[in-house]
Structure 1
Amino acid sequence: MLTSFIEGLLCCLSSKSTNVVGPVETSELADGYEFVEVKPGRVLRVRHIIPDRPVVEEPTGTGGTVSCKRKITVYRNGQLFIENLGAEQKSSQNGETEPNNPVEVEKEGTAETGAREEAPAAGTTDQQQQPRKRRWKPKRTVMIDCERKISACKGTHADVALFFIHGVGGSLDIWGNQLDFFSKLGYEVITPDLAGHGASSAPKIAAAYTFYALAEDMRLIFKRYARKRNILIGHSYGVSFCTFLAHEYPDQIHKMVMINGGGPTALEPSLCSIFNLPTCVLHCLSPLLAWSFLKAGFARQGAKEKQLLKDNNAFNVSSFVLRAMMSGQYWPEGDEVYHAEITVPVLLVHGMHDKFVPIEEDQRMAEILLMAFLKVLEDGSHMIMMECPQAVNTLLHEFILWEPATPAPPKKDSKARPETAKARTENTKSLSEPSNARPATARETSSNSGTAEKPDSKTKK
């Protein structure tokens, strides 16, 4: 810590940054690593694993089709109304069927002006029971009407690819357990280092680390490695890039996983933040920031967790890159409406001890998304994929193999019973041979024909 303080002091005196803004020194790269130049002079390290497995071109399961019909209305007072039009119908009190009531969601800080009704008191009139509501003029209305075919993605399918995107201060090494697990199962996995992280190049201008610049990098990486069915797995800040890709390529994104990603709010850098301090000051405080990240990112702070940070190259970025990343998180489009428009099935994984992202934010995300499944792990925190790799891998694998149940087609009732059909056959034979029929048999035939007419009359009714 004393060395960092001295280097930061020299930085302030000389007005030069002593931070390393180049790629982190790494050992000899093994197979599966590639360097992709997304822009001139902007090179990202990508780990791309294509395992040897028996290839099955088409999925073995039939899958299921999900109807995505939604009406999203935004009012000028800040209220957001989401009506799921494709949901099953409920029966009303008068026996008629009516659609489900629209889901009402309010943004934090807005007043409940006529949004909810209080229980009427006994003896009040109808006009008193139904107070007048102020009708707000809709500011924006979004209609979603599409169908998505969702099937199980197995490792033997050649048209499936898994993309892993890390957050601020991480690297592709934090996904080590997940990459090994899914590559052994036969999945093709792709995970990049964000600019300034891991072994990717680190430009010396702050504009290179804005959300839009990083999102463009992820878009180019996705276009390079995308298959027919792609599954995105993001962590923390990386969840925002997954959401961006789901909007850009809705037909190619099959499923999505958000790990401690936070709520569906637009990104905006905080004005009162420690990351707004000068770079040299942040460099002096780098040991304190690393300790704070260990304290808040892990449920336990022992030698094992410290070794995980060191081995997985987590929170090992320069102060310049860290400051530029935090101040460049400006994404006003990523609000609640933006997330509500997503029709991709989403798995939300949250660590109970996460001090960066409260569980209320992931619960909010589950309410906004069309198809979302929230799973909370009690033994994990923000870096849950490193703390509980087996539990996370199991959840991811089950979600990747999940497919909606296809409802069985309704059975068509036969118009005639087997006995009636048999009786009709005997009656036809007896009528065709009148000479061989005795009078008693004829009377039985007339009685049988009478019983055969009754089921037909009931069926018509």
Structure 2
Amino acid sequence: MKEKKPIQPIHYYRFLRANDRLAAMLTSFMEGLLCCLTSKPANVVVPVETSELADGYEFVEVKPGRVLRVRHIVPDRPVEEVPSDQGGIVSCKRKITVYRNGQLYIENLGEKASGELKSCQNGETEPNSTVEVELADSVKSSPLLSLPEASLESVSTGNSGPSETGGVGDTPASAQTETPQPPRRRRRKPKRTVVIDCERKISACKGTHADVVLFFIHGVGGSLDIWGNQLDFFSRQGYEVIAPDLAGHGASSAPQIAAAYTFYALAEDMKLIFKRYARKRNILIGHSYGVSFCTFLAHEFPDQIHKMVMINGGGPTALEPSICSIFNLPTCVLHCLSPLFAWSFLKAGFARQGSKEKQLLKKNNAFNVSSFVLRAMMSGQYWPEGDEVYHAELTVPILLVHGMHDKFVPVDEDQRMAEILLMAFLKVLEDGSHMIMLESPDMVNTLLHEFFLWEPVTLPPLKKESKARPETAKAQSNTTKVFSEPAKVRPASARQNS
């Protein structure tokens, strides 16, 4: 008789894991089928099991029966007051014109600000930082910029701007006169014109400053746990950090009404959270859908928002739910497809799909929402005010972080955002995807920290040219004659050169 070979432990664990996955899929399918037959919701919409009170967590009732979990860390650190003489003042002057054909033109009228913005990286740049785009603001370079047709190179190379004598390089005069013709036609019937004229004082935000608070806002399907590395890092640096769970996510309450998950309902929650914890200088950090809430807060509280970070947030377009979308299917059908959604999110949200990434999703409670909440969140993304003009009105310095392998948000959208915003940096990380804060936490923390510590250098005011320049030139030539004996030949040579 042949002896049976013992089952190897590795193959046995793989067998059990496959059985667990199959059982989960069958359970999900049976629950969805039961939902369709009984017309009852397949998901019990309640907070997850991690809702017990712990150190650093608070539960805030933003409305009666609407409770959000918030992680609030106030580290013990020596408080240092901000010196009054530090920080740079940036002039924000621009004219935004929207024409009836939908084109947007921006005239930057303020003093040059992009020169100081180049000093965002305090030290050597990261090896994975491949793209950096800045929008020039200069009185000398104020031609109309057709942003819908502008490329990345035209924006990045436009920092120097054309000179006063007329253009850069040997451009023919005929070409210069032909380019402004289309804007002149559209200028006759502007649909909307917005003029911005203000000054912002931008200073370094250190963890020892008591008036600095960092707000972290996650996106659809996430939770405050996805910011775990960032919250721990910046709290150790001495920063006060705030990270809420959106309604229906994490350990926050999840109402069974679809209207509770519209953009305006969630934005009102973030507004109340901001009012509760805000200080003098507040920095907003948003990811994906959370970027829209950060933009909303920057408009609502322009004097209190000091800086902002957008991580894989997409382009500056108004939000409108898609009519033909898989998320418009009934809740019970979505519940049956939940394993497929989790698998697709893992494939599209991470640059690599291994056991480490699966563990990150499970550990950080990402994409662990009910099908009812997921359906309501996707169908409630209606925000018509958040168009290009809405974003172009922002005067706060903004850092854009994008993962190169992001399949949810293409890099073109963040490049478009960098063109529209007044003061923006775009950092594209080669080894990251949509969940870049989980994939490369150290690099993201370094980029954010350098941005928090950055402050523009206040340039001295330009000296006005005096009308008596020829006389001063003569005086200088006379002094050279006095102090140099063999200068009898110099006047003749000077005449020849002139």
TM superposition score category, shorter chain reference: 0.7 to 0.9
1:395 to 447, 463, 470: 447
1:202 to 222, 234, 254: 254
Pair 1:131–1:276, CA change in 2 (3 A): closer
Counterparts of 1:409 and 1:128, CA distance in 2: 35
Counterparts of 1:26 and 1:130, CA distance in 2: 60
Counterparts of 1:331 and 1:358, CA distance in 2: 21
- Residue 458 (structure 2) aligns with: 406
Deviations 1:198-220 (A, max 9, x none): 00000000000000000000000
Q: Is 2:37 the partner of 1:37?
A: no
Ranges in structure 2 where 5+ consecutive residues have no aligned partner: 1-24, 114-138, 151-171, 465-481, 484-498
Aligned letter for 1:294?
Answer: L
Counterparts of 2:416 and 2:313, CA distance in 1: 11
Deviations 1:210-241 (A, max 9, x none): 00000000000000000000000000000000
Pair 1:180–1:59, CA change in 2 (3 A): farther
Once the two structures are TM-superposed, the CA of residue 185 in structure 1 deviates from its matched residue by 0.3
Q: Is 2:107 the partner of 1:80?
A: no
1:42, 1:203 within 8 Å by CA — same for their partners in 2? yes
Counterparts of 2:319 and 2:268, CA distance in 1: 16
Aligned letter for 1:215?
Answer: A
- Residue 335 (structure 1) aligns with: 387
Q: CA RMSD, aligned part only? A: 2.5
Counterparts of 1:291 and 1:215, CA distance in 2: 29
Once the two structures are TM-superposed, the CA of residue 105 in structure 1 deviates from its matched residue by 1.6
Aligned-partner SS, 2:104: strand
2:231, 2:241 within 8 Å by CA — same for their partners in 1? yes
1:61, 1:152 within 8 Å by CA — same for their partners in 2? no
- Residue 134 (structure 2) aligns with: none
Counterparts of 1:41 and 1:377, CA distance in 2: 41
Counterparts of 2:79 and 2:260, CA distance in 1: 40
Counterparts of 1:411 and 1:223, CA distance in 2: 44
Deviations 1:96-128 (A, max 9, x none): x955212222389xxxxxxxxxxxxx9x99999
Structure 1 segments of 4 or more deviating over 4 A? 124-133, 409-412
Q: Is 2:429 the partner of 1:377?
A: yes
Counterparts of 1:241 and 1:201, CA distance in 2: 19
Once the two structures are TM-superposed, the CA of residue 58 in structure 1 deviates from its matched residue by 2.2
Aligned-partner SS, 2:93: strand
- Residue 240 (structure 2) aligns with: 188
Counterparts of 2:285 and 2:178, CA distance in 1: 52
Aligned letter for 1:134?
Answer: R
2:349, 2:408 within 8 Å by CA — same for their partners in 1? yes
Pair 1:80–1:41, CA change in 2 (3 A): same
Aligned-partner SS, 1:134: helix
Q: Is 2:185 the partner of 1:134?
A: yes
- Residue 106 (structure 1) aligns with: 148
Once the two structures are TM-superposed, the CA of residue 87 in structure 1 deviates from its matched residue by 3.7
Q: Whose RCO is larger (CA < 8 A, sep 6+)? A: 2
User: Percent identity of the aligned residues?
Assistant: 83
Aligned-partner SS, 1:291: helix
Aligned letter for 1:106?
Answer: P
TM, length-normalised to structure 2: 0.76
Counterparts of 1:254 and 1:400, CA distance in 2: 9
Aligned-partner SS, 2:107: strand
TM, length-normalised to structure 1: 0.81
Aligned-partner SS, 1:106: coil
- Residue 19 (structure 2) aligns with: none
Counterparts of 1:221 and 1:352, CA distance in 2: 32
Pair 1:61–1:22, CA change in 2 (3 A): farther
Counterparts of 1:178 and 1:258, CA distance in 2: 14
- Residue 307 (structure 2) aligns with: 255
